[in-house]
Amino acid sequence: MNIWITGASRGIGKAIAEELLREEHKVAVSARNRELLDVIAVDTAHIDSLYRVPLDVASFDRTNEAAKLIAEKFGSIDVLINNAGVTRFKPIIETSIDEFNEIIDVNLKGVVHGVKAVLPYMIENRKGWIINTISVTVNKVFTNSGAYAASKAGVLALTNVLREEVRDKGIKVTAIVPGATETDMWPDGVREKYGERMMRAENVADVVATMLRTSENVMVEEITIRPQLGDL
């Protein structure tokens, strides 16, 4: 498969990219930080299967241009994994409007931009798969995450509607809903306190890789992945 992953420079996105390269897929990776994209681990055998495309998904024009570059490079975009995300761990009253806007622009509008960029290719090919990384914050209340939870709830609603709109076009749409995963999105104090209870990014990547091996006539609509001991 030809797979495009946004937010691939670290955490879950990076782990997914590395796992899918090992599974012999062609993988395009995007993130705002080109230097971090350069450290994605790939052995020599798979170096030609990796394509780095620096991108800020908050811009639709840049996202659309990235989709064109990837389609030209690989011949098609079979799978889009919308994984780019940012957050601020603050009460709503302390979250500035600029911070709120940034979170919405990346986490929600960034998904819209990716979807709008790849759908024409997928509709033309009568196949494709859009996978949106969401969060258990859509199902459970976590204080100090109001803007993040709102953005992810929007993505879940968008995902559910999109799935019904494109079923008859041969396109799959899946929500991946991870619980606490040990990445540098968390403040250091939280990672030190709860790190042993958290999942690893590689755990989520393994689930995604397994899901991509399912039969063509199966639609995996939503997968929730939590640590064995539950939410923090």
Helix axes 60-74, 110-125, angle to 10 degrees: 40
Burial class, 144, CB count within 10 angstroms (exposed 0-12 / middle 13-18 / buried 19+): middle
Which residue bears the tokens 């986490």?
107
- Using a 10 angstrom Cβ sphere, with 0-12 exposed, 13-18 middle and 19 or more buried, the burial of residue 218 is exposed
What is the DSSP secondary-structure string of 130-144?
Answer: EEEE--GGGTS--TT
148 is catalytic: yes
Q: From CA 153, how far away is CA 130, in angstroms rounded?
A: 17
Task: Classify residue 155 by burial, with Cβ atoms within 10 Å: 0-12, 13-18, 19+.
Answer: buried
Q: Which residues are catalytic?
A: 148
